[in-house]
Structure 1
Amino acid sequence: MKKRLFFNKYNEMKYISNLDLLRVMDRLLRRSGVPIKYTQGFHPRPKISLGNPISLGTEAFNEPMDIDLKEEMTNEELMKRLNSKEILGFEFIKVIDIDGKTSIVQDYKDMEFEIGGLGSSINKFIEFISQEEIILVKEKKGKTTSKDLKPRIKKYRIDGEKLILVLESMSPNSLLKLCGIKIEELEIKKIGMVK
């Protein structure tokens, strides 16, 4: 029985890496008495799938996670058990049933971000993403490759003093690095996945 859970990760929890998040989830599921399935083999792992990694220091909202249960459980009971542990800066907000043929990465390619911060940095960033092309040049094993990141910028708009940005399978961090803006200058929130 597969379930897709949606969670918020904010405040101090934004400093938990993706790998640590999997460990937190494993412990939380066990402590909550959720009958999770485990992989076979020498080092069994819980059957948990996350989407694209959340950048360290980024708050994430409506973030999906798939789990595989070995017993029937209602969505209400599952959510009640998981939220009963009250982890500061972390909460589950929704649970849905899914079939085994779907995956988060296939279902959600686009991610929506809210970016705020200093006006000059935001203006510089908007000017940068407004270009016709945004070329990323990489060198690996003596070979140089280049890729245009512009097609991955699906849309953006200004909402008050915030920039709302929709990106395909990418975090704003790589764009900020190319633009020469330090991540600490801006406040980045991943506000959801777009189907």
Structure 2
Amino acid sequence: MKKRLYFDKNEDMKYISHLDMMRFLERLLKKAKIEVKYSEGFHPRPRMSFGNPVSLGVEAYDEVMDLELLVEMDNDILLKKLNAACPQGFKFNAAEDVPRKSSIAEEFQIMVYEITGEAAVLEKLKKLLEQDEIVEVKIKSGKRKERNLKDRIQSYGIDGNNLRLELINTSPNVFLGMAEINPTEVKIKKIGYKK
């Protein structure tokens, strides 16, 4: 049985990496006594899948994960058991049954971010986002690669000291770097996905 879970990761929990979060969830499932399916091979792991990883230090709300259970379980009971084992800063909001062919990667491509900062800093970012082309150049193995990040922007808008940014499978950090904004000048919050 496949379940889709939605969770928040904030406060001190925003400082754990994606890899550490996978280990944390493995321990959490054991602590909550949730019987899950494991992968096969020398190092079995719980059968879990996630959306795009969140950068270290970024609060994330309504993050998505799929989990395969060994036994049937009511969604409310699953939520109650998981939340009883959660530390402060981590909370499951909802659980639902998932059809076998459903994929997080295909269904949750547009990520919604809120970037908070001084007006002058947000204006620098807005100027970058307004360009007709935003070309990122990378040198890999001696080869130059370019990609136009403008295609990854779904929408953006400033409201006071907040810039709301909807991106297709891209982190806002790349735009901050290109706008020459130090990550310490802003607070980034991932507020969910747009379907």
TM-score normalised to structure 2 length: 0.98
Give 5+ residue unaligned stretches, structure 2.
none
Q: Which amino acid aligns with 2:176?
A: L
Secondary structure of the residue aligned to 2:80 is helix
Q: CA deviation at 1:86?
A: 3.6
Q: CA deviation at 1:11?
A: 1.0
Which residue of structure 1 aligns with residue 55 of structure 2?
55
Between the aligned residues of both structures, percent identity stands at: 46
Rounded to whole Å, the distance in 2 between the matches of 1:23 and 1:86 is 14
Rounded to whole Å, the distance in 2 between the matches of 1:57 and 1:144 is 30
What does 1:172-183 align with in structure 2 at a 5 Å threshold?
A: 172-183=172-183
- 1:76 matched to 2:80: no
Rounded to whole Å, the distance in 1 between the matches of 2:86 and 2:141 is 47
Which residue of structure 2 aligns with residue 13 of structure 1?
13
Q: CA deviation at 1:159?
A: 2.4
Q: Which amino acid aligns with 1:163?
A: L
Q: CA deviation at 1:161?
A: 1.9
Q: CA deviation at 1:78?
A: 0.3
Q: Which amino acid aligns with 1:167?
A: L
Q: Count residues in correspondence.
A: 195
What root-mean-square deviation, in Å, do the aligned CA atoms of Structure 1 and Structure 2 show? 0.8
Rounded to whole Å, the distance in 2 between the matches of 1:181 and 1:2 is 41
Deviation string 1:29-85 (CA, Å, 9 cap, x unpaired) is 110000111011111110011110101110000100100001000000000000002
Which residue of structure 1 aligns with residue 116 of structure 2?
116
Secondary structure of the residue aligned to 2:37 is coil
What does 1:136-175 align with in structure 2 at a 5 Å threshold?
A: 136-175=136-175
Secondary structure of the residue aligned to 1:41 is coil
Deviation string 1:84-133 (CA, Å, 9 cap, x unpaired) is 02411110000010012111111111000000012211111111111111
Which residue of structure 2 aligns with residue 104 of structure 1?
104
Quick check: 2:114–2:190 contact (8 Å CA) kept in 1?
A: yes
Rounded to whole Å, the distance in 1 between the matches of 2:180 and 2:36 is 44
Rounded to whole Å, the distance in 1 between the matches of 2:169 and 2:133 is 18
Quick check: 2:152–2:170 contact (8 Å CA) kept in 1?
A: yes
Rounded to whole Å, the distance in 2 between the matches of 1:52 and 1:34 is 24
